[in-house]
Structure 1
Amino acid sequence: TVALVKKHPAVKSQLGAAIGLTGGLAVMRSLGLAREIDPYLTPMRSFKGSSLVGGGGAAEPEGKLTTSFGEAMIPEKAQFELPPILLDRRSSESRNYLRNYEMFHDEGGAAASDSQRRRTVHGISRSALSDDQSGPSSEAFMAMITREHLHALLHRTLPLNVSLWLNCNVVHVEPFSYGGTSASVTLSDGTRLTGDLVVGADGIHSIVRRTVASDDADGRTLTTSQRRYTGISGVYGLVVKHTFELMMKCSLKKDEKAEALLESLPVGGLHEFEGKGAIATVFNLKRHYMFVFFEAREDPPTSDENWTNPAVQEEISSKIKAQGMPSLFEHLLRAAPDGGRVVHLGLYESEPMRTSWSRGRAVLLGDSAHATTPFLGQGANQAMLDAWSLAFHLPPANASDYICADDDDLHHHIQKALHRYETARSTHATNIKSVSRMFGHIRLGITSWDRCVRRCFMQTLLTCGRGCLFRQMLKWASQLNV
């Protein structure tokens, strides 16, 4: 059995707007969730880049785009797949169990027949995907999904052997319980949960990482700080389409430029505007408009500088206008509080691990091990690929498929599995962090030299073979070396 412990009182996304799935989409397909995720996906069809900075480095007036870097076209079919590893979530028992937790949304899928039952291998189930489980969106090379939809989908398709612990704050992790044959976590109310393995998927503030990277046996002394500020702050926004379009229609002053920009952006299209030390992006999803604004900033936003503060809203609006960004972004910012959500935060990445990703029976996964900047869109994807790799390498949980002579034998196999997992993932995850940091620095164009490099780099990336290099970059980022 698995205990999924979350500190939040409800199943919902906490930060961000939407996620671009590449390798993560391959993981979802391998789990047999293609049919379930398909209605919520918006396949990415194009990436268009434009510069708002003239030769002298000054921002041009709105609407006068000095440079159009080009437009990369995204293929309709994925170019990477993972072997199927899936659990049977369509059994009537699983449905009834999930209904008891009021998290399951019946979409009309039939219960699996006996011939569709999966046999357990490596503690998870494997089967070939049936044709009716795939859809046009889930087969895309890259697709966008809102964080709320992805969170809800993953939670309502939890297998029967997973118990969900909400509103639970972990205060201590013990990686060597019972002589090293198990691990445990202690909650703030004193409850202690013990198991064969503790997986720290608890983000950049990970308490599990404090234990893994600790100097003493109790896991209380950190060898390094866990994160560092990148010098960039961001605004993520998500606006419901019908709310925004109604607001634009009811506006007393028509903005033809903003309306024309929206009309030129197809569903699945992304347009990025790059200024002087700042970039702004708008993406047309099925039901939402997503927008992002990044700027170089020496100090990260404080807790008081959240989006509910009117002074922050005014400051971001003035910065967007000063950069010469299209007025569409100002309209989106105004619409977000009523018809969407906005978050304002600094961008951080995790400090390099000076120790292994695991210690005893505790192991790190995703942002807790290698939090990265969002410029390659790989944060969630790398976490999902981590999870796939860890599950692939772990010894089977089913004793009929895999028998250990004693606890020492099992412990030996688990330690080997954790080592293989880290070997398979750590180098690539570190490279993703480095490339994402570099890619973001180039796109921001802080100095004149940076902007010169950006012009050459983006034109090559987006126009060579109609985006062939861009697609190859995404394919490289999504590779999984098992």
Structure 2
Amino acid sequence: MTSPSTSTPTALVVGAGIGGLAAAAALHGDGWAVTVLERADAVEPVGAGIAVAPNGLRALDTIGVGDRIRALSAIQGAGALRRPDGRILATTSGDAIRERFGDPMVVATRASVVEALLDRLPAGALRLGSAVVDVDPGDAARPAKVATADGAAYAADLVVAGDGIRSAIRGVLFPGHSAPVYAGFTTWRAVVPAPAQAGSTLGETWGRGQVFGAMPLTDGRIYWYATANRPEGEKYADPRAEVLALFGDWHDPIPELVGAASPRDVLHLDVHWSATPLPAFHRGRVALLGDAAHAMTPNLGQGGNQALEDAVDLAALLANRGGDVAAALPAYTALRLPRTTAVVRKSTRMGAMAQWHGRTAVALRDRALRLSARLSPDTAIKPLDDVMAWRPVARA
């Protein structure tokens, strides 16, 4: 069993997703000896793309990679929210987001963000093929311990659980708590070459229970995503064909974007969310973050950004308390649980409106969006004020 050092504080981070890697990088920067345990045999770019919002960029600034991600920004000019026939319901722009929140919305591949975070870790910190199956949270007098499927055991002053929506650690710490529930819709994602008229692809299109979005990447490609109301658990032999069947008659260039993807490169995932918040984001010496703590729908694009907030706030609270885990983790719950619960609920409300299916309800929704856009050009981004205005915990 690997034991914690008596001189250097030790942390085990479970999960090499964006939140876990950010926590590992932040803690390493504060002098912790960090080990990241990842169940997969390779760090894969699951999710294809990610929107790093101004709040996420501020979190990355504290780790030292904010400007590296800002350099990936490709959004220029006006974006639009449209109907399937192409009619514009509302518009916004990258400049409006920058002016309102002080930073752009950066759409990047997940691989780019993961690579930037991995570069902040020391050699050997990441251990692949290490699936954590059990945890002893420890207490003020003894370390936390984790066990992996291959029989290895580790002990540390702190365990950070970033092991995702089906978190094994959450299940051990809160065995009676309900798991994330199905949101009623599924998603497809892909990255494809940009068509000739790439500018016209910027934004989202809302239909009856269906959404299609497309954003440019700095390397000239397009990241697209689609959602549709579907029963939970459906599998598709050819996910691209399914997306074409759903969106093939929508405005250009949506059919072209879908057709440009290889069937094997279209990622399909059902959407789940934490309908019932956890009673705490910690137990003993274990802290949960990201989807393991507060799974949310993708409608605000905040899943990864909230995980980044979790990571840097956790590190700052520990630093401000001299590494005293027993004192810092209750403060972490008190800070992060109310905020993320509010963001989860806001995202769910947005998702519910986007997935309306009834003809009358959709017509009324579209009319309201057009009217509000005429009255206020910032209609599309005003609801994000309390989300994107976040600032990291000040360090003492």
CA RMSD in angstroms, aligned pairs only = 2.6
Aligned match for 1:4, one of 36, 43, 46: 36
Aligned match for 2:377, one of 441, 444, 466: 466
Partners of 1:43 and 1:273 lie apart in 2 by 17
Structure 2: gaps of 5 or more residues: 1-32
Give the C-alpha shift of residue 449 in structure 1.
4.5
Q: Supply the AA of the counterpart residue of 1:154.
A: L
Aligned match for 1:349, one of 254, 265, 273: 273
Give the C-alpha shift of residue 229 in structure 1.
0.7
Aligned match for 1:206, one of 158, 167, 187: 167
Aligned match for 2:114, one of 148, 151, 160: 151
Q: Kindly report which structure 2 residues correspond to 1:319-468, keeping only aligned pairs within 5 A, or say none.
A: 319-321=246-248, 324-337=249-262, 341-395=265-319, 402=322, 413-459=324-370, 462-467=373-378
Contact 1:180 1:360 in 2 (8 A): no
Contact 1:231 1:298 in 2 (8 A): yes
Partners of 1:344 and 1:384 lie apart in 2 by 24
Question: Do residues 141 (structure 1) and 104 (structure 2) align?
Answer: yes
**Residue 331 of structure 2 aligns to a residue in which SS?**
helix
Aligned match for 2:129, one of 167, 172, 185: 167
Contact 2:178 2:276 in 1 (8 A): no
Larger radius of gyration: 1
Name the CA shift for 1:383/1:44 in 2 (closer, same or farther; >3 Å).
Answer: farther
Aligned match for 1:196, one of 157, 161, 164: 157
Aligned match for 2:148, one of 172, 182, 187: 187
**Residue 394 of structure 1 aligns to a residue in which SS?**
helix
Contact 1:209 1:368 in 2 (8 A): yes
Q: Which residue of 2 aligns with 1:253?
A: none
Q: Supply the AA of the counterpart residue of 2:51.
A: I
Give the C-alpha shift of residue 25 in structure 1.
1.0
Aligned match for 1:74, one of 81, 84, 94: 94
Name the CA shift for 1:453/1:26 in 2 (closer, same or farther; >3 Å).
Answer: farther
- Taking structure 1 as the reference length, what is the TM-score of the superposition? 0.68
Q: Supply the AA of the counterpart residue of 1:19.
A: A
Name the CA shift for 1:472/1:327 in 2 (closer, same or farther; >3 Å).
Answer: closer
Contact 1:442 1:450 in 2 (8 A): no
Name the CA shift for 1:35/1:427 in 2 (closer, same or farther; >3 Å).
Answer: closer
**Residue 184 of structure 1 aligns to a residue in which SS?**
strand
Name the CA shift for 1:354/1:17 in 2 (closer, same or farther; >3 Å).
Answer: closer
Contact 1:350 1:371 in 2 (8 A): yes
Give the C-alpha shift of residue 207 in structure 1.
1.2
**Residue 381 of structure 2 aligns to a residue in which SS?**
helix
Name the CA shift for 1:9/1:354 in 2 (closer, same or farther; >3 Å).
Answer: closer
Query: Which portions of structure 1, spanning 4 or more consecutive aligned residues, are displaced by more than 6 angstroms?
Result: none
- Percent identity, aligned pairs only? 24
Name the CA shift for 1:172/1:35 in 2 (closer, same or farther; >3 Å).
Answer: same
- Taking structure 2 as the reference length, what is the TM-score of the superposition? 0.82
Equivalenced residue count is 358
Report which stretch shifted further, 38-47 or 366-375: 38-47
Question: Do residues 280 (structure 1) and 241 (structure 2) align?
Answer: no
Question: Do residues 49 (structure 1) and 81 (structure 2) align?
Answer: yes
**Residue 149 of structure 1 aligns to a residue in which SS?**
helix
Name the CA shift for 1:341/1:46 in 2 (closer, same or farther; >3 Å).
Answer: farther
**Residue 91 of structure 2 aligns to a residue in which SS?**
strand
Give the C-alpha shift of residue 202 in structure 1.
1.0
Give the C-alpha shift of residue 428 in structure 1.
1.6
Contact 2:205 2:211 in 1 (8 A): yes
Structure 1: gaps of 5 or more residues: 53-63, 81-138, 214-221, 246-258, 403-409
Partners of 1:277 and 1:144 lie apart in 2 by 24
Report which stretch shifted further, 182-191 or 33-42: 33-42
